[in-house]
Amino acid sequence: MKQKKAQWPWHVLTVLVLVGLAGALYYATSLMSYEWRWNRVPQYFAYQAEETQRATDISTVSELVRQGGSAQVTLRNDAGDEQHLTVDENSLQFAQGDDVAEGDVVGVTRHWAAGPLLWGLWTTLWLSLVSGVLGLLIGLATGLCRLSSNPTLRDLSTIYVELVRGTPLLVQIFIFYFFIGTVMNLSREFAGIAALSLFTGAYVAEIIRSGVQSIARGQNEAARSLGLSAGQSMRHVVLPQAFKRVLPPLAGQFISLVKDTSLVSVIAITELLKSGREVITTSFSPFEILFCVAGLYLLINLPLSKIASRLERRLAQSD
């Protein structure tokens, strides 16, 4: 009889290995006398932006009401015109009855603002989303062209797929930005998205093609024998089944795409990686920031693979 062995000692071992690796990393950085300053990191996610409030004319503080941390200041000039300002109480520069010159700072108001890392995350998100949707559409069309009975469509789609898959994405981005972008006067974002979606499209095309080909021929034959046209058979019978089958590789492709958006930092699109590198130049904390950047990519991709596996399970109900 097969003995069921306890699993937990192995999980404990896993934790020990991870702790050991972290310790080794810490020791290595201490050797190069690196000073970890995690407390500097949060301000690059979000910070309190200050907005200075200035007097517009030579005037006197005629009224001052302090209320719950903020102060309402009323300034009156010689003509009797009033200026109302609201500032944070602890930034107030004047008292009741003080004279104020034109342009004097009365105080500041503070509000939360997104830091560069959050802006970078946002840029990465919408770049991925737009390129992903375009890539899926291009890939679907190209994949079907690859299976077409028309030789020209087949040839063109094959050439496209082979060209894109055979050259590095980084090179394609440079070509799009410096060559096609210059010729057609494209913005850097347009060039970046074009390169990313064409790159993704080529891989999606191969995924779609293999998915469609993996559906048994009898399915198409049954549909055609009922009088469905080739297109109707593809739409109602073959593609729904193929889609279910290609969901895992498609999800993998989109996760790759999210990571590949980091490459458009080379054409000065301020996405997550470029934001991170800019932050490093002001914070002097390269390791902390790079770990944060990596963590943010994970933050996008882990839910993505979670959603894919849930969708996969839901589509499997007919099996």
Partner 1 sequence: MIEVRDLVKVFDTRGQVVRAVDNVSTNVAKGEVLVVLGPSGSGKSTFLRCLNGLEEFDSGSVSIDGLQLADPKTDINAYRREVGMVFQHFNLFPHMTVLENLCLAQKVVRKRGQKDSEAKAMALLEKVGIAQKAREYPSRLSGGQQQRVAIARALAMDPKVMLFDEPTSALDPEMVGEVLDVMKNLAVEGMTMVCVTHEMGFAREVADRVLFFDHGKLLEDASPTEFFNAPKDPRAQAFLRQVL
Query: Minimum Å distance from CB 235 to partner 1?
Result: 9
What is the rounded CA–CA span in Å between residue 37 and residue 217?
62
Query: Minimum Å distance from CB 216 to partner 1?
Result: 8
Q: Which is nearer to partner 1, 17 or 216 (CB)?
A: 216
Number of residues engaging partner 1 in binding (CB under 8 A): 21
Q: Which is nearer to partner 1, 227 or 295 (CB)?
A: 227
309 strand-pairing partners: none
Query: Minimum Å distance from CB 319 to partner 1?
Result: 6
If one asks whether residue 318 binds partner 1 (CB under 8 A), the answer comes out as: yes
Q: Which is nearer to partner 1, 109 or 219 (CB)?
A: 219
Contact 196, 170 (CB under 8 A): no
Alpha helices in the chain (DSSP H): 8-31, 116-146, 151-166, 169-174, 181-184, 188-214, 217-225, 230-233, 239-260, 272-283, 286-315
Q: Which is nearer to partner 1, 11 or 236 (CB)?
A: 236
Match 């009401």 to its residue by tokens. Answer: 65
Query: Minimum Å distance from CB 305 to partner 1?
Result: 23
If one asks whether residue 213 binds partner 1 (CB under 8 A), the answer comes out as: no
Among 4, 68, 149, 319, binds partner 1 (CB under 8 A): 319
Residues 215-254 that bind partner 1 (CB under 8 A): 216, 218-219, 221-229, 232, 236-237, 240-241, 244
Q: Which is nearer to partner 1, 244 or 274 (CB)?
A: 244
Contact 262, 272 (CB under 8 A): yes
Query: Minimum Å distance from CB 317 to partner 1?
Result: 8
Other residues' Cβ atoms within 10 Å of the Cβ of residue 78: 9
| 138-146, 178-186, 187-195, 212-220 -> range binding partner 1 (CB under 8 A) | 212-220
> Considering only CA atoms, which of 63, 90, 89 is closest in space to residue 76?
63
> Considering only CA atoms, which of 278, 275, 246 is closest in space to residue 261?
275
Query: Minimum Å distance from CB 218 to partner 1?
Result: 4
Class of residue 312 by CB neighbours under 10 A (exposed 0-12, middle 13-18, buried 19+): middle
Contact 206, 161 (CB under 8 A): yes
Q: Write out the residues near partner 1 by the rule CB under 8 A.
A: 216, 218-219, 221-229, 232, 236-237, 240-241, 244, 317-319
